Structure 1
Amino acid sequence: MNRHSSASSKPPLLVLIGPTAVGKTRLSIEAAKAYGCEIISGDSMQVYRGMDIGTAKIAPEEMQGVPHHMIDICEPTYPFSAAEFQNRVRTLIAEIRGRGNLPFIVGGTGLYIESFCYDFRFSEAGSDESFREEQRRFVEERGEEALHEKLRAVDPRSADKLHPRDTRRVIRALEVHHTTGRTLSELLSEQTRESPYDLCIVGLTTDREILYKRIEDRIDAMLEAGLVAEVRSLLDRGIGRQYISMQGLGYKEIAAYLEGELEYGAAVELLKKNTRHFAKRQLSWFRHMKDIEWLEVPAEPNFPALLQSFHAIIAGKFA
C-alpha cells in the first residue's frame, strides 16, 4: 500500500498541533516512523541556535533517526517571521516529497501553521518604518502593556491572541491598521482558507488542570536542566531582551531575574503563569481553525491507545 496516497489530487500534508507540554513529540516520532515522514518543526522559537532548554527542543538522540527540519537554522539575533516560515517550508516540502517521504508539520505556533496550511498572503499590508520606530519609542516611554492596550482599542481579536511582551507582533498588528485602515484580524479572516495541500490535521488536547500541571513540571525540569545558565550564556554573548528570540517564554523571565529586576522565585512563578496563559491562547487559536481531528490525552496517557487513534485518523485520510 502507498502510505502517502490520497483521493485528492493535492499533495498530502500531515500536521500535529496542540498546546505546549501536551505530548506532541513522542507521538510525532512514532507516527513519523510508521508513515515514512520527515518532521518540520512548527515552533517559532526552535529555529534559534543556542536556545535549547527553554524551547524544549528535541535532542538528536530523541529523534530516533527521523529527519527534522526548521530547527537551529538561524542565530538568536535574526528576526524570523511567519512569512519566512512559509517560504522555507514550501521548499522543504517539495524536497521531502522528492525523496518519497511524507511531510509532517509538528508544533504549537498557531500563526505559522495556519498561515502555511492555508497559504495566507502577508504582502497585502505595507510597511512604515517611521511608524514602527514611533511605537518602539512609545514602548520605552510607556511600557509594553500600554502598547498592547493601543492594539486592543483598534483590534481586540488580535490583542487577545498576542502577549503584551510580544512587542514585535503587536507593533506589526498596529502597523497593518495604520497602513491599511483595517485590522489584522479582518485581513486574516478574509484569507481564502483553501489549502494547496490535502491536509490531515490532528490536534492534541487535555483537561486544562492536567495541562497546567504538565506545564509546571516541564518548567521545573527545564530549570534543573540548566535554563538559567542557558539564558546567562545568551546575555553574555550580547543577546539582550531587545531581540525577538529573547522575548520567548523562559528567556524574558529568567533574563529579568539575571538582570536584577525579579527575585528568582518571582521569575519562576511568572514563567509558569505566562506559560499557562500562552497554552490557553494556543488552544483558542487552534479551536478557530478548521479541518482538525481532535484527540483527548487523558490524565494517565495510554500511549498505545493514543497512537492507535492517531493511526485511524491518518488511515481514514490517506489511503
Structure 2
Amino acid sequence: MDESADNRPPLLVLVGPTAVGKTALSLQLAKALNAEIISGDSMQVYRRMDIGTAKLMPVDREGIPHHLIDICEPEYPFSVSEFQSLCTEKISEIHSRGRLPFIVGGTGLYVESVCYGFQFQDIGADESFRGEMRTFAQEHGAQALHDRLQGVDSVSANKLHPNDEGRVIRALEVFHLTGKPLSELQDQSRGDDKKSPYRLCIIGLTMDRADLYSRIEQRVDEMLALGLVDEVRSLLREGVPRDAVSMRGLGYKEIVASLAGEMSDAEAVDILKRDTRHFAKRQLSWFRHMKALEWVDVGNDAKNSTLFAEICAIIAGKFQIDIEYI
C-alpha cells in the first residue's frame, strides 16, 4: 500500500523499560506534535496509587491532557480487554478534536493489544477454572503455578513473573479454553504495520543496561523518600485487600510483606530493586518482538536536543501526510 494513500488514522506510541525516561520525553513530544497522552501503564489506572506507579501528577503535566489515569479503585481487577476498549475510544475522541493520540507506557501487552487489535473478547472466561488456579497457587505457591504455564506456553511464561498471578492464570485459562498458547494467539493477531487499524509510529527507548539499572535503583530510593510506605499503609487501612491485582504490583507487594512482618524493610527494598530490574529486562524482551518499532538509544539523557530532533525526524518520516504535527 502506498503510504500517501493510507487513510488509517495516525497513532504515535512511546514504549520502553521502567525508568528509561519516557515521561519527560513524552511531554516534549506532546507539545511539539499537538498530542494528547494516553497512559499505557497497567498500574496508573488505580486511584491513590501514585508513588509506587511513578504517576505524573496533574500539576506536572504541563497542560498536556492525559487519559486512562486514576479511572478505577484499587480493589478493581482492571483487565487488558478493558484497557483496549477504553483506549480505542480515547483514540477516536482525540482524533475528532484534530489532535494526535499518543500512547506512552511500559505495559507491552496493553499497548500492543491496541496497536494490533487483539481479540481478547472472543476467548471468553471460565470463572471455575480461575478459582481452581487461585486455590492451586495458595496451596502450592506462585512458582508452582508459573511452572504449569511454563509447561504449556513457555513464551508467555518467560515474559511473566511468578508473582503476576492474574496474568499467569489468564494465560493458563486461554490455553484451557482454546487448546492454544496465548503467545500463539497473540502472534496471529500481531501481523505487521499494514494490519493495524492505525498508521503506527512506535518509538522504543533503550539505554545501556548498567545505566538503566542504576536509574531503577535511584527511582526506588526516591519513591521511598516520597512516602511509598505510607501510601501502601494507607491503602491497607482503607480496606484494599493485599491480594487485589493492584496490590500485587511492583512496589506494593514488597512493602505489604514488610508491613506484615514477613520480611525486614531492608529485605523488601532489596527485593523491590531486584524484581524491578528483572521487570525491565522482560519489558525489553517484549518490545523487541514488536514489529515496526524504531529503537532510540537515549543514553542517560532523554532531554538531549539532538535526541529530540532524531525522534521528531522518525515521526515526520512515518506520518508524511501529517507533517503539520511536527
TM-score (norm: length of structure 1): 0.96
Contact 1:6 1:317 in 2 (8 A): no
Query: What's 2:53 paired with?
Result: 55
Q: Report the residue type matching 2:288 in the other structure.
A: R
**Is residue 96 of structure 1 aligned with residue 98 of structure 2?**
no
Partner residue of 1:136 out of 124, 134, 137: 134
- Greater CA drift, 281-290 or 237-246: 237-246
**1:226-269 Cα shifts (integer Å, max 9, x gaps):** 00000000111111221000011000000000011010000000
Query: What's 1:216 paired with?
Result: 217
Query: What's 2:78 paired with?
Result: 80
**Is residue 66 of structure 1 aligned with residue 64 of structure 2?**
yes
SS at match of 1:123: helix
Alignment RMSD: 1.3
SS at match of 1:29: helix
Deviation at 1:123, TM superposition (A): 2.6
Contact 2:30 2:37 in 1 (8 A): yes
**Is residue 195 of structure 1 aligned with residue 225 of structure 2?**
no
Query: What's 2:307 paired with?
Result: 306
Query: What's 2:240 paired with?
Result: 239
Q: Report the residue type matching 2:249 in the other structure.
A: G
Contact 1:13 1:103 in 2 (8 A): yes
Q: Report the residue type matching 1:122 in the other structure.
A: F
Deviation at 1:7, TM superposition (A): 5.4
Supply the distance in 1 between the matched residues of 2:7 and 2:31 (Cα, whole angstroms): 25
For residues 262-273 of structure 1, what are the structure 2 equivalents within 5 Å?
Answer: 262-273=263-274
**Is residue 260 of structure 1 aligned with residue 258 of structure 2?**
no
Residue ranges of structure 1 left out of the alignment (5+ in a row): none
Contact 2:45 2:71 in 1 (8 A): yes
Supply the distance in 1 between the matched residues of 2:180 and 2:301 (Cα, whole angstroms): 46
**Is residue 184 of structure 1 aligned with residue 185 of structure 2?**
no
Deviation at 1:181, TM superposition (A): 1.4
Q: Report the residue type matching 1:249 in the other structure.
A: L
Deviation at 1:6, TM superposition (A): 6.6
Supply the distance in 2 between the matched residues of 1:156 and 1:237 (Cα, whole angstroms): 38
Structure 1 residues 35 and 7 mapped into 2: Cα distance closer, same or farther (>3 Å)? Answer: farther
Supply the distance in 2 between the matched residues of 1:99 and 1:114 (Cα, whole angstroms): 24
Contact 1:155 1:184 in 2 (8 A): yes
- Greater CA drift, 245-254 or 169-178: 169-178
Q: Report the residue type matching 2:306 in the other structure.
A: A
Query: What's 1:14 paired with?
Result: 12
SS at match of 1:76: coil
Query: What's 2:285 paired with?
Result: 284
Deviation at 1:42, TM superposition (A): 0.2
Supply the distance in 1 between the matched residues of 2:35 and 2:122 (Cα, whole angstroms): 34
Supply the distance in 2 between the matched residues of 1:7 and 1:96 (Cα, whole angstroms): 22
SS at match of 2:122: coil
